[in-house]
Amino acid sequence: MSQEPLLKKPESGKWTDAYPQLGRGPISLDDCVSAEFYEKEREHIFKKNWLYIGRVERLPKVGSYFTRELQVLNTSILVVRDGEDSIRAFHNICPHRGNKLVWKDDPFVETEGTTSRLYCRFHGWRYGLDGHLIKPSRQDLLLDFEPGKCQVPAIQCEVWNGFVFINLNSDNKQTVSDFLGDFAQGIEGFPFDRHRQTYKFKAELQCNWKIFMDGFAESYHGPYLHAGTFGALTALAKLDAPNQYTDALGYELKGLHRMFSFYGEPSKETPYSLPIEKLVQAGAAGPWNKRPQKDPLPKGLNPTRSEKYGFDSFQFFPNFVLIFSSSGFTTHAHWPTGPHSHIVEVDMYYLPPTTHKERIAQELTVSFLNDVILEDASPLEGMQAMLNSGAIKEFHVNDEEILIRHLHKTVQDYVANAEKEKK
Amino acid sequence: MNAKLPDAFKDLEYLVGEWAIEDGHERYLKRVNSTMDEMKVFYNAMAPRGKDAIDYLDQYDYQQALPDDAENLRNLLFTLITVSLAVELWRQPRVKNSAKTILTRLC
C-alpha cells in the first residue's frame, strides 16, 4: 500500500473548508420532522436510487430466494437466484389477480427459502424464476389472454461485490458501481466473501432514519454519550482542545456519498479493561493482540495512511452504511417506516472463527457493540420527540459534524431539484 | 439436550437449566428480565471458572460439533458474556439510558 495519504486536512485546520459549496451556518432540520418532506423523500430518493437489500450469501443456490418488506417503497420485494450468475428482483405479486406471491403464514413477515418456480397459492398459477408465466391453471377458461403481458413485475437488480441492490426507477441507466463511485472503487479487492461469520441485529426506532445515521457519522459524541463504554477515551479526552482520540482522522465527501476514517489502537488490555474482557481477551474493537493483517488493505481504506487507524465508515446514498474494522465489515441499512421512525438493520460480517476461543471472543465483541448501539438509540428517540415539538428549526453543526451537514444538504437538495424537474 | 457438564465442571450443573442459553436473543432477554441479584448469583459462580472453561473448550476442534456436555459449558460462557456487561459495566440489567429499547438479534 502506498504510504502517500489520499486524504489530508486543509491547511486552514477545518475539513469544511475543503467544500466551499457546503455552507458553514446552521442547517434546517425540517427534513427530519415534516411528514410532507418524508413523502417527497420516498418518491424522489427511495423510489429512484439504488438501494442495498442484502448479501448474496443469502442466495446460495439456484432457486434460493428472500423477500423484503419495505414500507418506504410501498411494496414487498422478492429476490431470487435464477442462475449461477443471475439474481433477479420482482415486486412480490402475482400478475393474475394481485395476490402476494411469496410468503409464509403472515403476508407482512419477510421470508426466505428455495424453490424451483414461483407458485401462486390463490389460483395455482406458476412462473419461472425469471418471472415468466409457465402455466396458468385451467387454461380452458382463458379469454383474450396474452401470456407475455402476464409476468411477475421485474425490478432492476444488480450485485456489486456480493451486495445486492435494487432500483425501483425503471428508467435508471446507471450501474451500481457508477452510482457508488470513487469510494466503491477504493474498496474493490476487500475479501468480502471470506467474511462469512454473521451476526445480525434489527430494531424499529422512533426516530427519522437520518437522525440515526447522524449519530454514527461523528465520533465527537464518544467521550460524552459513551462515557460508560469508552472509559479510556473519556478519561483521556481533553476538553476544548483537539483530541486525537475522538477527532476523526479524516472526512471525505464525494458527490452523494461520504466517509470518515477513525482512530484506533490495536485492541489490547488497558487500565480500563473489564474483567470479562481480560477473561476473553477481546473488547468492542475485536480480539486483543491480533496478528497484523497479512493482506494489504484496498487503497481506499485508511485514506490518511495513519498508523493509528481503527475503522472507516462509508455512508452511501441514501441509506447504506459500510464500516470496515479490524473485526471485518459491518453494514447498517436504514429503512424509514414513517417520518419519525425507521428500522435499522446492523449486520456484522467477521472471518469465521477457527477455534472455540476465537468464537467466544467474537461473542464478546458482538455483545459489546449491541450495547453501544443501544446507548445511542434511546437518546436519539428522545431527540426526535423534541424535534417534533418545533421548538428549534435548525441544527448548529461544527467541523467534526461535516458528514451530518452533507447528509442533510444532499437529501434536501436532491428533493428540491427533483421537485423543480417535476414542474 | 441434557443438563450435564464435563467432569471438571460438574459442580456447576445446577446452572445449566436456567443459564446455558445458546440463542443470542434469548440470552439478551434473560439479562433484561433478570434482577441484578439473580445475575450476580450466576456471575459469582461462573466467572471464576471462566478461564478453565475456555481452555477446556479450546481442546475441541472447532469444525466438529461439541459433545452435549461441552456445548452446555460453551453456552454458560456465552451467557457469562451477556451478564458480565450488566454486572461489570452498567451495574443494571439494561444499558444505561436505554429505556425499554432493545435490538432483536437475528443470528
- Secondary structure of A4-26 as H, E, C letters: CCCCCCCCCCCHHHHCHHHCCCC
| Interface probe with B: pick from A345, A360, A368, most Cβ of B within 10 Å | A360
Q: Per the structure block, which three cell numbers stand in for A303? A: 485514506
Instruction: Report the CATH number at residue A168.
Output: 2.102.10.10
Sign of the Cα torsion A269, A273, A277, A282 reads negative
- The stretch A74-88 carries a mean pLDDT of 96
Q: Give the C-alpha separation, A127 to A268, whole Å.
A: 55
Average the pLDDT over each of A50-59, A406-415, B89-98 and give the range with the smallest value: B89-98
Instruction: Report the CATH number at residue A329.
Output: 3.90.380.10
Contact between chains at B89 and A275 (C-beta distance less than 8 A): no
Which residues on B lie below 8 Å from A330 (Cβ)? none
Last residue of a domain, one of A124, A156, A173: A173
Last residue of a domain, one of A173, A201, A231: A173
| Domain identity same for A195 and A241 | yes
**Residue B59 burial (10 A CB sphere; 0-12, 13-18, 19+):** exposed
Average the pLDDT over each of A13-17, A25-29, A228-232 and give the range with the smallest value: A228-232
CA Rg, chain A, in Å? 23
- Name residues whose C-beta falls within 8 Å of residue A211's C-beta, 6 or more positions apart in sequence: A32, A380, A383, A384, A387
- The stretch A307-332 carries a mean pLDDT of 95
Number of domains in chain A: 2
Length in residues, chain A = 423
Q: Which of residues 251-280 of A touch B (CB under 8 A)?
A: 274-276, 279-280
Over residues A218-260, the pLDDT tens digits come to 988 888 888 776 666 666 666 677 887 789 999 999 999 999 9
For chain B, the farthest-separated pair of C-alpha atoms sits apart, in whole angstroms, at 42
| Structure confidence at residue A1 (pLDDT) | 47
A77 with A89: CB under 8 angstroms? yes
With respect to residue A158, please indicate whether it lies within any of the assigned structural domains: yes
Which residues on A lie below 8 Å from B47 (Cβ)? 275-276, 279
A196 with A204: CB under 8 angstroms? no
| Domain identity same for A166 and A223 | no
| Domain identity same for A94 and A232 | no
A98 with A46: CB under 8 angstroms? no
Cα nearest neighbour of B47 on chain A: A276
| Domain identity same for A39 and A91 | no
Q: What is the DSSP letter of A93?
A: B
Q: Per the structure block, which three cell numbers stand in for A337? A: 417506516
pLDDT for residue A404 is more than 80 = yes
| Domain identity same for A74 and A31 | no
What is the domain range of residue A365?
15-44+181-422
| Domain identity same for A107 and A63 | yes
pLDDT for residue A144 is more than 90 = yes
With respect to residue A10, please indicate whether it lies within any of the assigned structural domains: no
The C-alpha cell 462469512 sits at: A196
| Interface probe with B: pick from A345, A364, A367, most Cβ of B within 10 Å | A367
With respect to residue A4, please indicate whether it lies within any of the assigned structural domains: no
pLDDT band per the 50, 70, 90 thresholds, residue A423 = confident
Q: Give the C-alpha separation, B103 to A240, whole Å.
A: 34
Which residues on B lie below 8 Å from A200 (Cβ)? 105-107
pLDDT for residue A129 is more than 60 = yes
- The stretch B48-71 carries a mean pLDDT of 97
> If DSSP codes are grouped into helix, strand and coil, which group holds residue A157?
strand
| Structure confidence at residue A292 (pLDDT) | 62
The C-alpha cell 456447576 sits at: B12
Q: Give the C-alpha separation, B6 to B11, whole Å.
A: 10
| Domain identity same for A29 and A76 | no
Which residues on A lie below 8 Å from B74 (Cβ)? 356, 360
With respect to residue A9, please indicate whether it lies within any of the assigned structural domains: no
| Domain identity same for A136 and A254 | no
Nearest to A72 by CA among A166, A184, A159, A160: A166
| Domain identity same for A165 and A200 | no
Contact between chains at B98 and A377 (C-beta distance less than 8 A): yes
| Domain identity same for A268 and A393 | yes
For chain A, the farthest-separated pair of C-alpha atoms sits apart, in whole angstroms, at 81
pLDDT for residue A352 is more than 70 = yes
pLDDT for residue A147 is more than 80 = yes
- Name residues whose C-beta falls within 8 Å of residue B49's C-beta, 6 or more positions apart in sequence: B9, B12
- Name residues whose C-beta falls within 8 Å of residue A380's C-beta, 6 or more positions apart in sequence: A205, A207, A211, A212, A215
Cβ neighbour number for residue A228 with a 10 Å cutoff: 16
Q: In the beta sheet, which residues pair with residue A158? A: A165
Q: Per the structure block, which three cell numbers stand in for A182? A: 470513487
pLDDT for residue A389 is more than 80 = yes
Of A280, A363, A378, the CB nearest to B98: A378
With respect to residue A2, please indicate whether it lies within any of the assigned structural domains: no
> If DSSP codes are grouped into helix, strand and coil, which group holds residue A267?
coil
Q: Give the C-alpha separation, A16 to A405, whole Å.
A: 10
Q: Per the structure block, which three cell numbers stand in for A278? A: 481480560
With respect to residue A165, please indicate whether it lies within any of the assigned structural domains: yes
- The stretch A32-59 carries a mean pLDDT of 98
Last residue of a domain, one of A150, A173, A196: A173
Backbone angles phi, psi at A293, to 5 degrees: -60, 135
- The stretch A44-50 carries a mean pLDDT of 98
Pure H helices in A166-291 = 176-187, 209-215, 222-225, 231-236, 275-280
- The stretch A187-200 carries a mean pLDDT of 96
Cα nearest neighbour of A281 on chain B: B51
Q: Give the C-alpha separation, A280 to A283, whole Å.
A: 8
With respect to residue A361, please indicate whether it lies within any of the assigned structural domains: yes
| Domain identity same for A190 and A313 | yes
Instruction: Determine which helix (DSSP H) or strand (DSSP E) holds A207, and give its type and residue range.
Output: none
Q: Per the structure block, which three cell numbers stand in for B81? A: 458474556
| Domain identity same for A85 and A146 | yes
Average the pLDDT over each of A7-16, A176-185, A200-209, A267-276 and give the range with the smallest value: A267-276
Q: Give the C-alpha separation, A94 to A297, whole Å.
A: 46
With respect to residue A59, please indicate whether it lies within any of the assigned structural domains: yes
Which residues on B lie below 8 Å from A224 (Cβ)? none
| Structure confidence at residue A223 (pLDDT) | 82
Nearest to A377 by CA among A328, A334, A329, A330: A334
Nearest to A167 by CA among A339, A318, A347, A64: A318
Nearest to A316 by CA among A208, A406, A198, A196: A406
